[in-house]
């Protein structure tokens, strides 16, 4: 190893990995280190650039808290998170999309048809649909987690004026796979751009806007868990999402309703909704978990 050169160092790294290395770990590391080393060789990366990169990562570490994960955000704006979603998304079924940095555990239970809107300001929306298999049959035992921004474009964990679990809920569905809840239209928002991710965005002339969306996690026994987002078809940022999360099949129409009759049966919120309000209908198609 005392004769390591820029052309032999990648093999030297691989030779260091002992026989006890897990084969998958070895494969992933081989690809990772080969690409990392090729990147340095192809760019002749300078010490100043290496330090700048480390400095960005250190700043990301400094700014990361349980409420704000700058590393996830960096992964998002580089397209890494979306790409991991895409290489793991089966061709059939509803596409996945980024989890994002604002998910928190412990969202409160809401009955199907329940009201997540509560006292939040904003245009009222009734979201409904079903969780089904690729043939359209309802899936039993499905659960849904939902979270979104308030009308000011902030999630509850970014905004002290909101209750801890504002606009977050967890639904346990019946055997019919039907979900419905009332909420507000989510607002477009900017990803935090006051840290190293913002530095990267500004340096490359990128804006930090994401199109408005609802986040969902859908689980059911025997099926692949689905982490996804759905977007209103009239959002101005659909074609320039800062985190590459939009998929054509995740864009859905918000239908403006002026008649109270459009409210589905069994909605808690019915008596409190004032026209105009919106309805949006969207089915989640899960695929079977591979053995």
Cis before 276 (ω within 30): yes
Contact between 33 and a copy of itself per CB under 8 A:
yes
Q: Shortest distance, CB of residue 130 to a copy of itself, whole angstroms?
A: 24
- d(CA 80, CA 98) in angstroms, rounded, equals 10
- d(CA 213, CA 185) in angstroms, rounded, equals 8
CB atoms within 10 A of CB 110: 20
Closest CA relative to residue 110, chosen from 283, 268, 286: 268
Site for a copy of itself in 10-29 (CB under 8 A): 10, 12-13, 16-22, 25-29
Q: Shortest distance, CB of residue 12 to a copy of itself, whole angstroms?
A: 6
Site for a copy of itself in 186-225 (CB under 8 A): 203-206
Contact between 258 and a copy of itself per CB under 8 A:
no
- d(CA 11, CA 4) in angstroms, rounded, equals 9
Q: Shortest distance, CB of residue 180 to a copy of itself, whole angstroms?
A: 26
Contact between 262 and a copy of itself per CB under 8 A:
no
Instruction: Return the residue of 23, 87, 135, 258 that touches a copy of itself, per CB under 8 A.
Output: 87
Site for a copy of itself in 92-131 (CB under 8 A): none
Nearer to a copy of itself, 49 or 175 (CB): 49
Closest CA relative to residue 72, chosen from 117, 41, 104, 42: 104
Nearer to a copy of itself, 57 or 262 (CB): 57
Nearer to a copy of itself, 43 or 258 (CB): 43
Q: Shortest distance, CB of residue 9 to a copy of itself, whole angstroms?
A: 5
Instruction: Find residue 280's DSSP bridge partners.
Output: 127
Report the interhelical angle of 47-63 vs 196-203 (nearest 10°).
130
- d(CA 89, CA 72) in angstroms, rounded, equals 19
Which of these ranges, 72-80, 153-161, 184-192, 274-282, lies near a copy of itself under the rule CB under 8 A? 72-80
Contact between 240 and a copy of itself per CB under 8 A:
yes
Instruction: Return the residue of 123, 187, 251, 270 that touches a copy of itself, per CB under 8 A.
Output: 251
- d(CA 267, CA 273) in angstroms, rounded, equals 10
Binding-site size, a copy of itself (CB under 8 A): 76
Site for a copy of itself in 38-67 (CB under 8 A): 38-47, 49-50, 54, 57-58, 60-62, 64
Q: Shortest distance, CB of residue 148 to a copy of itself, whole angstroms?
A: 19
Nearer to a copy of itself, 1 or 261 (CB): 1
- d(CA 97, CA 81) in angstroms, rounded, equals 8
CB atoms within 10 A of CB 108: 12
Nearer to a copy of itself, 9 or 262 (CB): 9
Which of these ranges, 70-78, 115-123, 172-180, 276-284, lies near a copy of itself under the rule CB under 8 A? 70-78
DSSP string, 211-268: ---EEEEEE-TTB--EEEEEEETT-TTTT--TT----GGGEE--EEE-SGGGSPTT-T
């Amino acid at each position: 190893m005392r004769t390591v050169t820029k052309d032999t160092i990648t093999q030297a790294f691989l030779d260091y990995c002992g026989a006890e290395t897990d084969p998958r770990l070895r494969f992933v590391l081989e690809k990772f280190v080969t690409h990392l080393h090729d990147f340095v060789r192809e760019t002749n990366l300078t010490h100043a650039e290496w330090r700048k990169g480390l400095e960005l990562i250190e700043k990301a570490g400094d700014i990361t808290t349980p409420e704000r994960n700058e590393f996830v955000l960096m992964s998002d704006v580089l397209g890494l998170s979306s790409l991991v979603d895409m290489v793991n998304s089966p061709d059939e079924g509803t596409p996945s999309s980024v989890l994002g940095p604002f998910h928190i555990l412990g969202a409160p239970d809401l009955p199907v048809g329940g009201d997540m809107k509560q006292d939040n300001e904003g245009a009222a929306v009734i979201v409904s649909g079903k969780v089904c298999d690729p043939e359209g049959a309802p899936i039993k035992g499905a659960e849904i987690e939902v979270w979104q921004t308030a009308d000011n474009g902030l999630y509850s964990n970014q905004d002290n004026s909101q209750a801890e679990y504002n606009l977050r809920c967890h639904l346990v569905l019946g055997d019919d796979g039907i979900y419905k809840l009332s909420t507000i239209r989510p607002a477009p928002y900017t990803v935090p751009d006051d840290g190293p991710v913002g530095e990267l965005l500004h340096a490359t002339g990128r804006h930090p806007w994401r199109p408005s969306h609802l986040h969902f996690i859908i689980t059911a026994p025997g099926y692949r868990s689905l982490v996804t987002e759905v977007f209103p078809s009239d959002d101005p940022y659909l074609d320039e999402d800062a985190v590459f999360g939009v998929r054509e099949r995740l864009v859905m129409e918000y239908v403006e309703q002026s008649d109270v009759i459009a409210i589905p049966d069994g909605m808690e919120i019915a008596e409190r909704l004032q026209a105009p309000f919106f309805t949006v209908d969207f089915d989640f198609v899960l695929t079977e978990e591979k053995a």
